[in-house]
């Protein structure tokens, strides 16, 4: 069963069980926002956030989003917010292999809130991105190819989805990699510490000579 069909079935059950409220919401703009992340080639577990933005009075009960990604910067898993009644994410196509050597092309997620609403500003889910070791420096799109938003009565709202990106950047040099400078600083610090230890003894000797 496709993820959208699963969403409709689960929402229907939730309404019957009274998990979702029955009051309809105003038809207004709702935005699902895909975040961005920066990391260097070969890195793993780079996290971006997917959030929901609404205006005052809007009652969002459930969302469905599809996020596409590029082969050099694949999403390997998404973790939903555990505070919601129904949450599910799956890499697509079904049965694909995750990772830089895999063949997954997008991730689909459905979220439904307790009490009929998902609060404004909520983090719907987070996703982990791996970056191929041979990925070129630059930006790789996290495209939002599909988005659906329902109110507590099961009516479709007027959603929009803002895509994000993965920025592949050059590795940051390790502090002290210059060698000579780091050694010089260490030597100065060691010399200064030595004087702190020697000074009390020298002062004591000077006082004894004056007696």
Q: What is the pLDDT of residues 37-77, one digit of tens each?
A: 999 999 999 999 999 998 766 889 999 999 999 999 999 99
CA distance 60 to 122: 11
Question: Which pLDDT band holds residue 177 (cuts at 50, 70, 90)?
Answer: low
Length of the chain: 211
pLDDT at 125 over 60: yes
What's the whole-number average pLDDT of the chain? Answer: 77
Give ∠ CA 3-163-59 in degrees, rounded to 5: 60
What per-residue confidence (pLDDT) applies to 178?
A: 52
Give ∠ CA 78-82-84 in degrees, rounded to 5: 110
Contact 152, 22 (CB under 8 A): yes
What per-residue confidence (pLDDT) applies to 16?
A: 30
Give the pTM. 0.70
Q: Each residue of 66-124: pLDDT tens digit?
A: 999 999 999 999 999 999 989 999 999 999 999 999 999 999 999 998 777 899 999 99
* Paired residues of 173 in beta bridges: none
Q: Each residue of 150-159: pLDDT tens digit?
A: 998 888 888 9
75, 60, 68: which is closest to 124 by C-alpha?
60
pLDDT at 11 over 80: no
């Amino acid at each position: 069963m496709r993820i959208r069909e699963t969403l409709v079935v689960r929402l229907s059950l939730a309404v019957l069980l009274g998990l979702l409220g029955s009051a309809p919401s105003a038809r207004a703009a709702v935005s699902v926002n895909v975040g961005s992340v920066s990391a260097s080639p070969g890195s793993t577990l780079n996290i971006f956030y997917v959030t929901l933005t609404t205006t005052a009075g809007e009652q969002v009960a459930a969302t469905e989003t599809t996020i596409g990604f590029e082969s050099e910067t694949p999403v390997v898993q998404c973790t939903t917010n555990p505070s919601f009644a129904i949450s599910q994410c799956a890499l697509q196509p079904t049965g694909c292999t995750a990772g830089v050597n895999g063949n997954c092309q997008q991730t689909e997620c459905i979220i439904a809130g307790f009490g009929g609403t998902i609060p404004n500003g909520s983090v719907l889910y987070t996703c982990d991105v791996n970056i191929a070791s041979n990925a070129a420096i630059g930006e790789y799109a996290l495209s939002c190819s599909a988005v659906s938003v329902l109110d507590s009565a099961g009516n479709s709202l007027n959603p929009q989805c803002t895509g994000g990106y993965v920025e592949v950047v050059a590795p940051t040099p390790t502090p002290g990699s210059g060698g000579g400078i780091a050694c010089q600083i260490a030597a100065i610090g060691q010399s200064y510490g030595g004087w702190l230890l020697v000074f009390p003894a020298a002062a004591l000797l000077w006082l004894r000579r004056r007696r």
